[in-house]
Amino acid sequence: MNNSDIQAAWRYHDGTKHSHWSIRNNPHFLDWANRPLPFKIYPKIEPLPLPRDVSQTEVTALSAISETLASSQASSVPALQDLARILYFSAGITKHRAYPGGEIYFRAAACTGALYEIELYVVTGDLAGLDAGAYHFNPADVSLRLLRNGDFRGNVARATAMEPAVVHAPVTIICTGTYWRNAWKYQARTYRHFGWDGGTLVANMLAVAAASGLLAEIVLGFVDAEVNRLLDLDARREVSLFLVPLGRASESSLPAPREAPALGLETIPLSPREVEYSEMLQMHAASSLESEVEVAQWRGKPPVLPSSSASAGLIGEEVQLQRPPEEEQPKDSIEQVILRRGSTRAFDRTASITLAQVSTILDSATQGLPADFLQPPGTQLNDLYLIVQSVQGLKPGAYFFRRAQKSLELLKEGEFRAEAHHLGLEQQLPADACVNIFFLADLNRILERYGNRGYRAVQLEAGVIGGKIYLAAYAQRLGATGLTFFDDDVIDFLSPHAKGKSAVFLLAIGRPLKR
């Protein structure tokens, strides 16, 4: 398999599109007796409970989500309290509810189907209160479990071809995806969800790290097999997706890589039986990087240019964003906002929101995204399109977000609730929302630059921005939910402007219906 053979990404993408036909003709049903466990459990490893009485940062949500710390500002080594805060507010259990199928433990970040297929691992040097090691984080008991004793940061740094943020990090969090836990419901689409659900989770992680005064960034370039081996993953079931180095220490503290033999650690099976979807294993293999040389070349390639539509001349009326001054913005802390976030289950169709609120969401959610694949900083792979339904200060219609100009361009005016209902898989939520935000990307251009790994990048970036939109909406006491969509119909509706692009992600924002 070769990362530059981009037909593999196209095959996966085209093969997992939703269409009227695919939805009507899919015989898949939810086999409740075979429902996967929502947690990865190592029955033979003792838990190391993380502190639960962690102080809150009191940094406002809106500044935390758009913050990028300069390395000079950042405090260097995370305390155990910081690590506990970052893990809990990214992947921790924030509420639970009883349903006919059993109890659901909802987590800090939104996740397709509440299936929580993203696992977190920590590779750390010695911290006060935590010995160097490679650990798994279990949100069920807010504990770490030691998989490997000793400092393995040199192995992680080597796998990333000495990416500076990883080389200097006292701690790196590794995010993995477990296929079956999500594929039980979504089948082969789970590989898209790895990016979406990993993205919403890491949006929280970046915000809480920034609020804790710690540098953090997303690293997507690494030798897959090396990181998988370090974590003792069975790569047919679970794979490393991206890394988040935290904090900054001197380079001289980085140890040499160590032997990391297979451990064969026992874990509790997720279900009586698992179904394997070969499309996803192929997509993963085709987007894997196989050597440090390949990682260095992948990262060092020229930056991706803004899409043609972002730099094209205006075709429609332009409306400037109107973000209120800092002192008029909501002051709730990032932790308060994460704790009250939850996907809106029904929007009030009669309600409206304001252009100032939409401006705050768009402006804050599209900043503060440090990632090795977004170079120079500020680059963005996804373009945002809006269907505005009820926003004071904006005519109803379809818009393109001109990020550099901080403006919205009206593509076509009209009342498009019926279209939004259809595009969002005929769900009521997009019809009743005040605004729907569609993420589209020029996959041709992205895959040409990044190879198949660009497919991981574009889905992940959409998830991160989507996660930030959730937080920016809830910071302003609005509601939001991620949604699925009919791929090609989205492009048709937004064309000719969107011609040649692919649909990646969708989010609806509005006012929750008071029952």
Ligand X SMILES: Cc1cc2nc3c(=O)[nH]c(=O)nc-3n(C[C@H](O)[C@H](O)[C@H](O)COP(=O)(O)O)c2cc1C
Closest CB to ligand X belongs to which residue?
A: 482
Among the listed residues 106, 225, 235, 330, the single contact to ligand X using CB under 6 A = 106
Is 208 among the residues that bind ligand X (CB under 6 A)?
A: no
Is residue 503 a contact point for ligand X (CB under 6 A)? Answer: no
Q: Does 114 bind ligand X (CB under 6 A)?
A: yes
Residue 217 CB contacts under 8 Å (≥ 6 apart), including other chains? 165, 206, 244, 245, 370, 371, 372
Which two three-digit tokens encode residue 413? Answer: 């005016």
Residue range at the interface with ligand X (CB under 6 A); choices 48-56, 63-71, 409-417, 423-431: 423-431
> From the CB of 293, what's the least distance to ligand X, in Å?
35
Instruction: With CB under 6 A as the rule, give the number of residues binding ligand X.
Output: 17
The residue among 23 and 315 lying less far from ligand X, judged by its C-beta, is 23
- Near ligand X by CB under 6 A, which window of 46-54, 214-222, 332-340, 477-485? 477-485
* DSSP state at residue 302: P
- The region of 30-38, 127-135, 252-260, 478-486 touching ligand X under the rule CB under 6 A is 478-486
Which residue, 110 or 147, is less far from ligand X as judged by CB? Answer: 110
Cα–Cα dist 356/393, whole Å: 9
Among the listed residues 187, 297, 427, 444, the single contact to ligand X using CB under 6 A: 427
Contacts of 172 (CB under 8 A, 6+ apart): 122, 123, 124, 153, 156, 166, 243, 244, 245, 246
In terms of Cα–Cα distance, which of 106, 38, 92 is closest to 342? 106
Per CB under 6 A, 480 contacts ligand X: no
φ/ψ of 121, rounded to 5, equals -125, 155
User: Whole-number minimum distance, CB 393 to ligand X, in Å?
Assistant: 28
Burial of 113 (0-12, 13-18, 19+ CB in 10 A): middle
- Binders in 128-157 for ligand X, by CB under 6 A: none
DSSP output for 57-70: ---BHHHHHH----
**CA-to-CA distance for 352 and 373, rounded, in angstroms?**
37
Which residue, 255 or 342, is less far from ligand X as judged by CB?
342
Cβ proximity to ligand X, 124 vs 182, nearer residue: 182
- What are residue 149's DSSP bridge partners? 133
Residue from 468, 444, 472, 462 nearest 506 by CA: 462
Nearest residue (CB) to ligand X, 360 versus 459: 459
Nearer to ligand X, 37 or 114 (CB): 114
Here the tokens at position 124 are 């750390």
- Ranges within 347-366 binding ligand X (CB under 6 A): none
At what angle are helices 355-365 and 453-475 packed, to 10 degrees? 140
CA distances from 78 to 51, 55, 137, 426 (A): 14, 14, 16, 46
Q: Which helix (H) or strand (E) holds 424?
A: none
Among 92, 482, 510, 512, binds ligand X (CB under 6 A): 482
Rank residues 365 and 429 by Cβ distance to ligand X and give the closer one.
429
Calpha distance 106→390 (Å, rounded): 30
Q: Rounded to whole angstroms, how far apart are CA atoms 460 and 200?
A: 9
Stretch that binds ligand X, among 2-10, 129-137, 400-408, 479-487 (CB under 6 A): 479-487
- Under the binding rule (CB under 6 A), the answer on residue 457 touching ligand X is no
Residue (of 457, 408, 458) closest to 437 by Cα position: 408
Of 111-119, 182-190, 308-316, 487-495, the window that binds ligand X (rule: CB under 6 A) is 111-119
Which residue is listed with tokens 């403006």?
A: 407
| Among 261-269, 319-327, 353-361, 475-483, the segment contacting ligand X (CB under 6 A) | 475-483
Q: Which of 343, 359, 380, 476 binds ligand X (CB under 6 A)?
A: 343
- Binding of ligand X by 285 (CB under 6 A): no
Shortest gap between Cβ of 463 and ligand X (angstroms)?
7
Residue type, 368: G
CB atoms within 10 A of CB 398: 24
Minimum gap (Å) between residue 428 Cβ and ligand X = 9
* In the complex, least distance from residue 235 CB atom to ligand X, rounded to whole angstroms: 24
Q: Does 184 bind ligand X (CB under 6 A)?
A: no
Residue 484 contacts ligand X per CB under 6 A: yes
Query: Does residue 63 bind ligand X (CB under 6 A)?
Result: no
Residue 473 in contact with ligand X, rule: CB under 6 A: no
Q: Does 203 bind ligand X (CB under 6 A)?
A: no
- Contacting positions for ligand X (CB under 6 A): 106, 110-114, 196, 200, 342-343, 425, 427, 429, 481-484
